[in-house]
Structure 1
Amino acid sequence: MTVPGLPIRDDLRGLEPYGAPQLDVPYALNTNENPYPPSERLVKALGEAVMDVAGTLNRYPDRDASALREDLAAFLNADTPGVGLTGRRVWAANGSNEIIQQILQVFGGPGRTAVGFEPSYSMHPIITRVSGTRWVDAFRDEDFGIDPGRAVEAVRGHRPDVVFLTSPNNPTGTALPLEAIEAVLEAAPGMVVVDEAYAEFRRGGTPSALTLLDRYPRLIVTRTMSKAFAMAGTRLGYLAASPAVIDALLLVRLPYHLSAVTQAVARTALAHGEELLGGVEALRGERDAVVAWLRGRGLAVADSDANFVLFGTFPDRRRVWEGLLARGVLIREVGPPEWLRVSVGTPEEMAAFRTALEEVLREAPRESL
C-alpha cells in the first residue's frame, strides 16, 4: 500500500521488503531453519529460564549482555580451538541482520562504499543501501567461488570501507578457503566482514575465519543461533572481533537492545548446546545424500557446506517451484536465474521433496522447465 505524497526517502522509493514466502504447506523447505525442535527437557529448561527473569521485567536488562557474551565466547573457543576469545571480543544483537546493520552504521554511511560478491546473502546489499552506503557487486566465479586475484583487483579498484565475504555462502552453500579471505584482508583499506551464519554445517577440514582474528584487527566474523542451534525464533546474532571494533559498535547500539528474555533463552540454549547441535551431523548427512541424489538425476548442484542445496538449471524455474508447491513442498526461488534452493529437512521432509521433484521432472521435458 502506498500513500500519495508520503515523504519517503528518495533512495528507498521502489524497493521491495525482504522476505521469503510464508505459506501454510506440509513441507516448508525455504528458509534454512533447523527442522528439529527443542526436546521436552530443553523446553522445560527454557521455560524455567524465562520464569527466572519474569519477576525482574520491570527493570531494564543487562545493557551489555555481559554474561551472554562470555557464554558465546566459550562456545566459539570450543568450536574453533585456539582462538582464545573472551566476552570482550564478542558482541550480540537481535539476529545477524542487526549485527550487519550496526556494522554499516559505524563503518558505512553516505559517501562510503561496501563491496560484496553475489550471488550471496541478499540482506547485505539491502541493509547497505538502507544505511546510505553505496553497494558494489564484484560477482562470484562461475562455480560460485571467489578467485583471490579477482577479489583483490575489485578491492583495490573500489577501495571499499566494508567488504562482505560469506562462507559458507547463501544461497550457494560455497565455503571460501582461508587464502581467499586473507588475500582480501591484505588488500582491503577498511573492514572485512566474514558472514559465517552456516559455519556449524561445514564439512570436515573447512576452516573458520575465526583463526585469522589475531592477525587482522579489521576483521569481523559474524555468526547466528538461528540455524545450527535451532533458535531462529530467539533472534540472536553475534560477532567476534577486536575489542576496538566492539567499542565502535557501542556508538550505535540502541539502549537495552537485547531483552532479558532473549538473553536468558540464548544462554540456556548455549548451556544445552550439545543437544541442540546433535542434529547437525544428521543434517549434514541428509545434505550430502540429496546432493548425490540430484546429481544422479543429471541436475547441476553446487557443493554445499551449509544446510541447504542449490540446484538447477531450469530455463523456467518458476514452473518447477510451482510444481513442487502444488505437491505441498515449498522451496526458494533465490540466487542466480535457473537455479533453486532447498533447505535440508528431516528424512520425511527430504523424501517428500524427492518424490515431488521426480513427479515434476516426469511431467515435462527438462528443456521446457
Structure 2
Amino acid sequence: MQVQNKMIWTGLCAFAALSGSAQEKKPISQPLVSHIYTADPSAHVFNGRIYIYPSHDTATGTPENDNGDHFNMMDYRILSMNKVGGKVTDHGVALSVKDIPWAGRQLWAPDVAFANGTYYLYFPLKDKQDVFRIGVATSKKPEGPFKAEAEPIKGSYSIDPSVFKDPKSSDHYMYFGGIWGGQLQRWNNNQYDPNGALRQPNEPAVLPRVVKLSKDMKSFAEPVRELQVLDQNGKPFTEGDNTRRFFEGPWIHYYNGKYYFSYSTGDTHNLVYATSDNPYGPFTYQGVILTPVQGWTTHHSIVEKDGKWWLFYHDVQLSGKTHLRNVKVTELKYNADGSIQTINPYQ
C-alpha cells in the first residue's frame, strides 16, 4: 500500500501541474454533449452511424478514495451521430444497475459488439461480494434498451471489456483488465486472491487479459490468457515502468495488416499503443497516442468512419472534477510506416 500511495501522490502532483497548464491552453476538441457527464467512450459504426457507449458519470456524493469508489455509475446512456461533427443524439438509459439480477454496484466502462443479428453490451460491475465481474446484455437495436443475463460471464473478472472482431477469422476476442480499483492484481492464473497486492516497482507488471468468445457471444470459448506487452527489445515491463506498462482501458483495432493494442498508463496519464501480427500477441510497444488530458483518468476508443480514423477520449473540461468527465473526439493520423502520430489534447 505504501508503493500505491507513493504512486498516487506522484500522479496527483502531475495532475495538479497539468490542470494549471491545461486550463491555460485551448482544447483541440469540445465535449460531444454537455447535458450529462460521460466518459470511457467505446465507439463503433453500426449501419453507417457512429454509436458511442460511454460510462455515465453522476455526482453521487460518494467519497473519493484510491479504489475509485467515487466513480459510482448507476446506468448507461448511449450516444450516436451520423458523422463526426454532426448532431449527437442521446438515446436515454439503455441499462440500469437495478435491472441487473446479480448487481452489487459500480457500472464502469462498457463495450458493444454485433453478431448473430444481436447487439451485445459487455459491462463490468461489482457483484454482491464486491468483486468485479463482466456481464452481458442484449438488444436488437444498437441503442438498446438492453436486457442483462441473469449471471455474469463465467470465468470473467476485473474491468474494461473491449470486444474485437478479427477481420481475418471473424472470431471475437475480449480484452479486459485494470489494476488498482479494477482489481486485476487480485487475479493470478485466473484464481482470485482477495489479498492480492499491487506489484513492487522491480516486479513484472500485471498484464492485461485476452479471451476468445464463444459463438453465442455470452461465454468464453477458452481459459483467459495473459496478453504480453513487450518493449522494443522483447522484454516485459516492470511495474516501475509506469509510463509504458498497462494500467487499464484496453482497446484493439486493425490497420494495414497489423493489430494495434492501445491502453491507458493510469497514474502517468498517457494513452499508448503496441502492435502485433496476432490478436493474442505478443505486442511490441510503439509509443504515445495521446498525452495527458485534464483529469486523472484517461480512456479511449479508435474507429474508422468516412475514410478517416478517429480517437474518442474524455477530459474534465466541463466540471474540472476527476469523476465528472465529458467525451470528446479528434482525428487520429498515421505515418507512412504505420506509426500513430502523437496527439496533444491542448493547443
Higher strand share: 2
TM-score (norm 1): 0.27
> Max radius of gyration: which structure?
1
Determine which structure has greater relative contact order: mean sequence separation of CA pairs < 8 Å that are 6+ residues apart, divided by chain length. 1
TM-score (norm 2): 0.29
